[in-house]
Structure 1
């Protein structure tokens, strides 16, 4: 029987790469998106996935999406919290980062009665200072703390909660400033920038059956960049 996965922010970038990876590894994937119907239709055509349009940052939004997926598929096994929102206010960003996960903590045991996986997507700005990243950095640090608390709360229910962290991600020629990206790529021990599929592979590892005993951890996928001073 296929596992059922929900990926928020799943029509582009890391979220799309995660949806592709899970779909390729025998998951029935529900892709959440907020506004872009055309992009969602393209993803649905490519992956033969289900679409969940909705705002995961709104109160109750996450619960509604997961419940709809569980009702449609008859089960829920994986929840990937990838959607992010940027503002100039650290308080707003912290709220947006935490809400999709906080919103569903109490209902996950009933939605995943046979256990499951929750993976949040974070960044190395959570534990090191990145210029111009104050608001999201603080938000990601709060998210990683929430992952640890949620892991303890849900471990006894057979639900493993973890996070994947990464550095600057090359999402294509139109999404990056070439010169800083060239410098970062040269500085990365593995020799190139992280791409979305690298992060997706790490998410998949935490969703594997063999990862059942991993709880509350942050797995870094950045080609070794974060190891440097």
Structure 2
């Protein structure tokens, strides 16, 4: 049993009960962690606070607003965290976005602005968050992000997001090298397809789910709880020697050929 009592975990990307961030938050809460959950905008406040109420039944949890595309909001969030908790031990970056047209249109039609937005929100935000978090991780800790197999292989209707995820995976490695001397580990989970709010923007998503069920060694898709379990392990001392890695949680789909 992994015990995170006395540990503070900051989780970005809380959207609703179907989000991967929520599945991770559940596992961290069960392990006794103190949760700091971040939602993007005022529009999401009510739902985020409702989820906080459920997650905080037994353990401490608070919600803060933070748009990770704005450095001033990231700085303000971590200033609040420093004042409230003093130190943190884990950060989960479960944030990604590209304008809808950049995903559904032919990749050749990717616009300069759409490319910029996808990489700013989905990739650069990890660097910005890590930079703000590092001073509060005085005893080392774990930073974790979420990627997808579309970073390595072409998936229909994924387009510029696949390119952003490839950049994100490279960023994980460079951050791991940069933060390693401080005892801060940086890793990513490459989760299989899950029916989240974000997944609704991917055309023919059900075909991807069906392909995984057919080809994956376990003959099924993963759920948020399984991703949460892997995240809990990577955030714990059991993974103290693991950094710069991409861990697949996809029922083995990535190992298959045909």
Q: Who is 1:225 aligned against?
A: 253
Note if contact 1:170-1:193 (Cα within 8 Å) is conserved in structure 2.
no
How many residue pairs get aligned? The number is 228
Q: What secondary structure sits across from 1:96 in the alignment?
A: helix
RMSD in angstroms over aligned alpha carbons?
2.0
The alpha carbon displacement at 1:184 in A equals 3.0
- d(CA) in 2 for partners of 1:109 and 1:177? 37
Shift of 1:11: 3.4
User: What secondary structure sits across from 2:71 in the alignment?
Assistant: coil
Q: 1:64/1:99 Cα in 2 relative to 1: closer, same or farther (>3 Å)? A: farther
Q: TM-score, normalised by structure 2?
A: 0.82
Whether the 8 Å contact between 1:63 and 1:103 is mirrored in structure 2 is: no
Indicate the residue corresponding to 1:104 in structure 2: 129
Structure 1 portions without partners, runs of 5+ = none
Tell whether 2:13 aligns with 1:9: yes
Structure 2 counterpart SS, 1:114: coil
Who is 2:31 aligned against?
25
Distance 2:152 2:79 in 1: 33
User: 2:59 matched to 1:53?
Assistant: no
Between the aligned partners of 2:88 and 2:152, the Cα distance in structure 1 is 32
Q: TM-score, normalised by structure 1?
A: 0.91
2:172 aligned residue? 147
**Where does residue 120 of structure 2 map in the other structure?**
95
Query: Helix, strand or coil for the counterpart of 2:163?
Result: helix
- Report which of the two has the higher share of helix: 2
The C-alpha deviation readout for 1:134-180, integer Å capped at 9, x for no partner, is: 111111110110110000111110101111112211349x9596565
Q: d(CA) in 2 for partners of 1:24 and 1:44?
A: 13
Q: CA deviation at 1:42?
A: 1.5
Partner residue of 1:192 out of 203, 209, 220? 220
CA distance in 2, matches of 1:3, 1:183: 39
- Structure 2 unaligned regions, length at least 5: 103-113
